[in-house]
Chain A
Amino acid sequence: MSVTQRSPITYAVTLLALVFLYLPLAMVVLFSFHATGAVSFPFTGFSLRWYRETLGDEIFRSTLWNSTVVAISVSVVTLVIGTMAAYGLTRCAPRLRAPLALLFFLPITLPGLFVGIALLVYFARLDIQLSLTTVMIGHFVYVFPYFLLVAKAALDRLDPALEEAAADLGASPWRIFRKVTLPLIWPVLAGATALAFALSFDEFIITFFIIGPDSTLPMFMYSRLHRTVDPAINVVSTLLLAITLVFWVIAFAFAVRAARGRARATDTLLGEAAA
């Protein structure tokens, strides 16, 4: 579909942008293998000691676990509530749409600093103790608009004719959703859920304010930053990068194949209709 043009300047900028994006990451990975604890040159040799130390650190393991639990909970809740909200938002009465959209998308525009602080003060007022639950609440508020953005875009792109046809054939709204809508949009939902997971896992700015005695991985990294000079956080980041890259590759491949499959399905449908 996209015509390939020759565009040397934008090509050059893209290349430079990629270098710019990856250079710091390369530094992070490089120094995670540094023989000494310094994160500056000269580079004195390779060593796996920081990996051994970090992976053996029980605080690292417990915060890793906490972060995973939080991220999974947040993504599941966001998936359910977000899909419902996206569906509702695209099909509700027009006069409801603007105020709902404002409420739903406003959190993106507010920096985490304000959301975090407002929640801290709010929980204090209500005498709610800070814990992983409060962290999950904060993450939900942060993650929900991003999920909604993606889900809503997918629903918007859906051809209404398909659902109308099913409705005309007497299917209930729930049946329509299950048999028509969901099969078409589930790859996008899966991707959005993965995005929600990733956003929650790496969240620091809001978490900083509403974290309780159980800590998350980004908070672990922050505390290491404050007390040690070794590349422990480089190690954690490299590991995270490696793991999420694997997931991201899978998700991306999934999405691409699903898009192609969807196009094929629609073609088949239209082909049969035309016949």
Chain B
Amino acid sequence: MTSVAEASRETRRARFGPGALTLPAAFGLLLFFAAPLGTFFLYSFLTNSLYEVSRPLTLEGYSDALSSEVNRTLGVNSLVVGLCAAAATVVIGLPVAYWLRFAAGRWQVLVLFLITATLFASYLVRIFAWQSILGGNGLLNSGLRRLGVIDEPLGFLLYNRFSVTVALVHIFLPYVVLVLYAGFRPVSPALVEAAQDLGANAFTRWRRVILPLVAAPAVTAFMLVFVLSAADYVTPQFVGGTDGALLGVRIQAALTGVGNWPLGAALSFLMLAAFLLCYLLTVLALRLLRLDRIRFVS
């Protein structure tokens, strides 16, 4: 057999080898993800020269971004809508994932399929479709008028934060269900049954047993929806009206409409800073509640 020296060389090689496999991906992402973001970050400190940037380093981008009242209003709007969309998606997703894991039985595969299948409806069309439902002559209003419940169409369903949130929830619910379902999988039904047997009602079961077990994936899902919703720039344009306007549209306009790249960059990184702050807060909360280190033993 091989000598000790040869064996140790082999093990060293074996441990070095696999890491090298990550090189193409790492290279690709460094080149096309890290570098662009770094460049973009640098741009937020340069001077605007109309679809170009030029040398003198300045904080003008940031001061322009923060001094505009519109930006501040829209920034707050974005955070609020993001939080609402995230909360709604997780609140709906948790029972669905629970049902899939513990109560679905032979329906599990079919329902999972149905839910994930909706991911393949085009993103644009789904936003658009909500106009057909919430609009003055849309499904809801037409239906309610036919039933005689209302005479005039309800105007508050569309072109505000509500419709933006609904459309965003619709977009992200399948993802959240998948993430939460994955989070529920390692949870043994025995745990839930035990809680039931010990006399806990549904509320206590959820609060004491179920939620803590899936806290980490739930928070992940929440943050994901929050970040992606707050930065959406297409949904508010079609169903947002002026009440549901979000900052993403301004960032897009700063880049392509006005050609003020430093402003667009500054707005983007301010938004990212806000996201990072929220993320850190949730990590802190999880740690304080000691819900971040749950391990499942099969």
The answer to whether any beta carbons of A and B sit under 8 Å apart in the complex is yes
Q: Is the CB of B122 within 8 A of A113?
A: no
Q: Tell whether A41 pairs with B117 under 8 Å between CB atoms, given A85-B25, A113-B251, A225-B124.
A: no
Q: Is the CB of B124 within 8 A of A117?
A: no
Q: How far is the CB of A203 from chain B (nearest CB, A)?
A: 8
- By beta carbon, the residue of chain B nearest A6 is B103
- By beta carbon, the residue of chain B nearest A12 is B95
- A6 vs B102: C-alpha distance when bound (angstroms): 9
Residue in B92, B129, B248 whose CB lies within 8 Å of A25: B129
Q: How far is the CB of A198 from chain B (nearest CB, A)?
A: 6
Q: Which residues of chain A from 64 to 92 have a CB within 8 Å of any chain B CB?
A: 81-82, 84-85, 87-92
Task: Specify the main secondary structure of chain B where it touches its partner.
Answer: helix
Q: Tell whether A202 pairs with B122 under 8 Å between CB atoms, given A24-B129, A111-B231, A233-B128.
A: yes
- Among the stretches B57-65, B67-75, B106-114, B287-295, the one at the interface with A is B106-114
A193 at the interface (CB under 8 A from B): no
Which chain B positions have C-beta within 8 A of A24?
121, 126, 129-130, 132-133, 170
A169 at the interface (CB under 8 A from B): no
Q: Is the CB of A23 within 8 A of B100?
A: no
What does the 1/0 interface line of A11-53 toward B look like (CB < 8 Å)? Answer: 1011001101111110110010000000111100000000000
- Among the stretches A55-63, A96-104, A182-190, A265-273, the one at the interface with B is A96-104
- By beta carbon, the residue of chain A nearest B109 is A256
Residue in B17, B122, B255 whose CB lies within 8 Å of A173: B17
- A245 vs B21: C-alpha distance when bound (angstroms): 34
What does the 1/0 interface line of B182-195 toward A look like (CB < 8 Å)? Answer: 00000001001100
Which chain B positions have C-beta within 8 A of A113?
231-233, 248, 251-252, 268
Q: Tell whether A13 pairs with B92 under 8 Å between CB atoms, given A40-B132, A141-B32.
A: yes
- A94 vs B280: C-alpha distance when bound (angstroms): 24
Q: Is the CB of B32 within 8 A of A14?
A: no
Q: Is the CB of B108 within 8 A of A2?
A: yes
Q: Tell whether A221 pairs with B125 under 8 Å between CB atoms, given A96-B19, A111-B232.
A: yes
Q: Is the CB of A233 within 8 A of B125?
A: yes
Which chain B positions have C-beta within 8 A of A40?
131-132, 135-138
Which chain B positions have C-beta within 8 A of A256?
109
Q: Which residues of chain B from 9 to 24 have a CB within 8 Å of any chain A CB?
A: 14-24
- A248 vs B116: C-alpha distance when bound (angstroms): 9
B33 at the interface (CB under 8 A from A): yes
Q: How far is the CB of A50 from chain B (nearest CB, A)?
A: 13
Which chain A positions have C-beta within 8 A of B17?
173
Which chain A positions have C-beta within 8 A of B204?
none
Which chain A positions have C-beta within 8 A of B131?
39-40
- A225 vs B122: C-alpha distance when bound (angstroms): 13
Give the most central of B121, B130, B139: most A CB within 10 Å.
Answer: B121
A165 at the interface (CB under 8 A from B): no
Q: Is the CB of B173 within 8 A of A140?
A: no
Q: How far is the CB of B171 from chain A (nearest CB, A)?
A: 10
Residue in B15, B39, B202, B256 whose CB lies within 8 Å of A125: B39
Q: Tell whether A27 pairs with B139 under 8 Å between CB atoms, given A10-B96, A241-B121.
A: yes
Q: Is the CB of B92 within 8 A of A121?
A: no
- A125 vs B52: C-alpha distance when bound (angstroms): 9
Which chain A positions have C-beta within 8 A of B223?
109
**Chain B residues proximal to chain A, CB less than 8 Å:** 14-26, 28-30, 32-37, 39-40, 43, 92, 95-96, 98-105, 108-109, 111, 113-126, 128-133, 135-139, 142, 170, 173-174, 177, 189, 192-193, 202, 223-224, 227-228, 230-234, 248, 251-252, 255-256, 261, 264-265, 268, 272, 275
5 CB-based A-B contacts, threshold 8 Å: A14-B95, A27-B132, A42-B137, A85-B22, A93-B19
